[in-house]
Structure formats: structure tokens, C-alpha cells
Structure 1
Amino acid sequence: MHKLLLAVDGSAAAHRAVQYVVALAAVFPSIEVVLLNVQPEIDDWSVLRVLTREEVEAMEESRAGDVLREERAVLQAAGVRFTPLVEIGAPAACITRVAAEHNCDGIVMGSRGMGAVSAALLGSVSSEVLQSSDLPLTLIR
């Protein structure tokens, strides 16, 4: 594996996924990482009626920057080469698309650890990525 997409969402599981990639990079120093945070599109009418589309996009980008800040610091401290990236939209679709666009060899992401019933009713991003991508997927709990 030479290039990994590392999807983070601010959760503890995502932070453990970053730690996993740091450990992997210690063994395989040539690894490159695409550090991705996907923000849901803001579609609340009470927000959209008072803010311009550009202001809403700036809010979405700002939230993503907050999520990426800690993870960027961890990767930088470990000397891991990475490219931070923010996408706005449906998480699973964005993860799958970005991994393909950046010619990634695999995807690493945290799993929130929903039970089988919750996952069946609500679905999960990791389940959707597993079904929609042909790349190896490593889930960290």
C-alpha cells in the first residue's frame, strides 16, 4: 500500500484510525495519506434564509478545519506525508469518490461500533463504503 485515504469525523474511533496510520507509516515510511473530512451539507431553512451560499460554505469549511486540526498535528508530528481535504456531501459517496480520484490503494476509517440493529435501521457510513468501494477497507473501533 502506497496511498491511503484516511477518513476522519472527529470521533474517538477516527482518532484511533489516525494512530493506526501513524503506526503503519512507521513500518512503511513511503505511505502517503489523503486526510479527508466530509461535512454534511447545511440545508436548514432557518440558516439558508439569512446566509448566502458562500457564507454557508465557509461555515462548512470552518467546521471541517476544526475536525482536521488535531489529526493534522498527529500526522505532522509523526512525519507522515499527507494532503488534507474537505468535501461537503454524503459521507460514504464522498469517501468512495475521493479514494478513486486520488488513486488510493486502501481506505482507513473509524467505526462507530453501532450494533447490528442500529446499523440495519440507520445504516452506517462504513457499511456504505464497504458496499460501494472495491478498495480494501480497514475499520478501527
Structure 2
Amino acid sequence: MNKVLIPCDGSDSALRAVRHAAEGLGRSSPPSLQLLHVIEPMTAVTLSEAFAAQGLDDRFPPQAAQALQPAISALDAAGVPYTLHCRFGEPATEIAAHARETGCDAIVMGTRGRGALASLVIGSVAMRVVQQVDIPVTLVK
């Protein structure tokens, strides 16, 4: 596995997926980890406000910075390299699109997110991702 995508929404489940990827994947040749945060359109007041706000850098709105920070801290502590990405849209669709567009070999993701709907429909985003991609998806509980 060369490129591994890890969707991060700031949830405990997403952080467990980050730790799983950092600890368990590619001990002999570490994979290239990509952290992705997807901002759902209804959660951003306006796109211009989101992009104008200060986050990790000018590319990341505060909402993404807050969601990515625990994962960044965990990977930095483990000495694992990564790249950061942020997209706007429906999470499962954007995760699958990002994986295709960047040539990811696998996805490692948590089974429960932060959204209110995720509390009602456990793993709904994860299951939609599995249905939309043709690469291995590891779900971390």
C-alpha cells in the first residue's frame, strides 16, 4: 500500500483510524497518509467566510483545522508523515472522489462520525464509501 486515505471528522472513531493506520500499516515501508476533512455545505455559513477564516493555513477553514488537529498531533508524535486535504460536499461522495482523483490504494476510516445522523444510522458514511470505491476500505471501530 502506497497511498492511504484517512477521512477525519474530529471524532474519536476517526482518531482511532488514524492511530490504526500509523501503527499497523506498512511497518517496513511506511505508506503515504492523506488526512481528509470534508465540510458539508450546510455546516459552513458561507464558502467565502470559510475560506477567509484562519485555520491550519490559508487553505483550511477553522472547522477543518479543529477536526484535523487531533490526527495531526497523533501522527506528529508517532513521526509519521502525512498530507492534509479539505473538500466541501457530501462526505461519502467527496471521500470516494478524493480517493479516485489522488490514486489512493486504500482507505482507513472510523465507523462513527460526529454528525447527528451518524448517531442514528451507525456507519452510514462508511457504508456509502465502501459502495462507491473499488479499493480496500478498513473500518476501525
Category of TM-score, reference length = shorter chain:
0.7 to 0.9
Which residue of structure 2 lines up, in the alignment, with residue 77 of structure 1? 77
Q: Which moved more, 1:76-85 or 1:93-102?
A: 76-85
Q: Is the 8 A contact 2:7 2:109 kept in 1?
A: yes
2:102 is the counterpart of 1:102: yes
Deviation at 1:30, TM superposition (A): 2.6
Q: Partner amino acid for 1:136?
A: P
Q: Partner amino acid for 1:40?
A: E
Q: Which runs of 4+ in 1 moved over 2 A?
A: 56-60
Question: What is the alpha-carbon distance in structure 1 between the residues aligned to residue 12 and residue 123 of structure 2?
Answer: 19
2:140 is the counterpart of 1:140: yes
Q: TM-score, normalised by structure 2?
A: 0.81
Uncovered stretches (5+) of structure 2, i.e. residues with no partner: 54-59, 114-119
Q: TM-score, normalised by structure 1?
A: 0.81
Q: Is the 8 A contact 1:64 1:86 kept in 2?
A: yes
Uncovered stretches (5+) of structure 1, i.e. residues with no partner: none
Q: Partner amino acid for 2:76?
A: Q
Q: Partner amino acid for 2:39?
A: Q
Question: Larger Rg: 1 or 2?
Answer: 1
Any idea what SS the aligned residue of 2:10 has?
A: coil
The alignment-based identity, stated in percent, is 36
Question: What is the alpha-carbon distance in structure 1 between the residues aligned to residue 50 and residue 6 of structure 2?
Answer: 25
2:49 is the counterpart of 1:55: yes
Q: Provide the alpha-carbon RMSD of the alignment.
A: 2.3
Count of residue correspondences: 129
Any idea what SS the aligned residue of 1:109 has?
A: strand
Question: What is the alpha-carbon distance in structure 2 between the residues aligned to residue 85 and residue 100 of structure 1?
Answer: 14
Any idea what SS the aligned residue of 1:27 has?
A: coil
**Larger helix proportion, structure 1 or 2?**
1
